[in-house]
Amino acid sequence: MRLLALLLVAVLGLAACGGADPEAPAGGAATLPGPVPADLALRPVPPGTPSAPVFTGTLTDGTALAAADLWAERPVVLLFFASWCTTCADRQDALSDLARDYRDRVVFVGVVTGDEPAELEAYLRAHEAEFPVVVDADGTISRSYAVREPGAVAVVAKGGALLRGWPGGLDASTLDNRIRELLLDEVSR
């Protein structure tokens, strides 16, 4: 019986150490990436590729984020979405899974404009979105990427080159293919 009690305490202790903090705001600093994997192999950026618009913003928990700090170390996928966007909601679960699959190698960053904090929080939790989310309250970030409505996606290479954007967004399967095609050498997959 004592052994069973010790085992139960150990399992509960491990469970408490893993996963997202249920009390922390979804999309906050706890979702920022860890160290860059040592075996990350990236494709070279084609010559003449334009630079991505640099931006700073605030995550859902109030933490400041400078996008250039993220793409200085690894590629970044920007997901422009909103909780009220039905196309975004239809795609979000699979995109959240894809973001987890690429965790630390390619950082997914959500950019949200025109959303209420409570609705955004509920959306992020419902879709298990475990990536940083910047609140673009005045739409400056979205405008700098020529995003007119949510559902857009942009891929930024390590170093800040804007490789590609899709105004209507992409489903997770297609985005996965584009990430492998544009960013990753096969050995890093």
On the 0-12 / 13-18 / 19+ scale of CB atoms within 10 A, 22 is: exposed
Q: How confident is the model at residue 91 (pLDDT cuts 50, 70, 90)?
A: very high
pLDDT tens-digit series, residues 64-78? 999 999 999 999 999
pLDDT of residue 24: 76
Segment 170-178 mean pLDDT: 97
Q: Which domain, by its residues, includes 97?
A: 59-189
Other CB atoms within 10 Å distance of the CB of residue 185: 12
Distance in angstroms (rounded) separating the CA atoms of residues 118 and 41: 39
Residue 54 belongs to some domain of the structure: no
Mean pLDDT, the chain, as a whole number?
88
Residue 108 belongs to some domain of the structure: yes
Residue 144 belongs to some domain of the structure: yes
pLDDT tens-digit series, residues 107-161? 999 999 989 999 999 999 999 999 999 999 999 999 999 999 999 999 999 999 9
Residue 118 belongs to some domain of the structure: yes
Residue 133 belongs to some domain of the structure: yes
Least confident range of 9-18, 42-51, 79-88, 133-142 = 9-18
Residue 138 belongs to some domain of the structure: yes
State how many domains the chain has. 1
Residue 163 belongs to some domain of the structure: yes
What is the crossing angle of helices 172-182 and 86-101, to 10°? 50
Give the CATH number, domain containing residue 98. 3.40.30.10
Segment 86-101 mean pLDDT: 96
Does residue 188 have a pLDDT over 60?
no
Quick one: tokens of 110? 């959500």
Residue 8 belongs to some domain of the structure: no
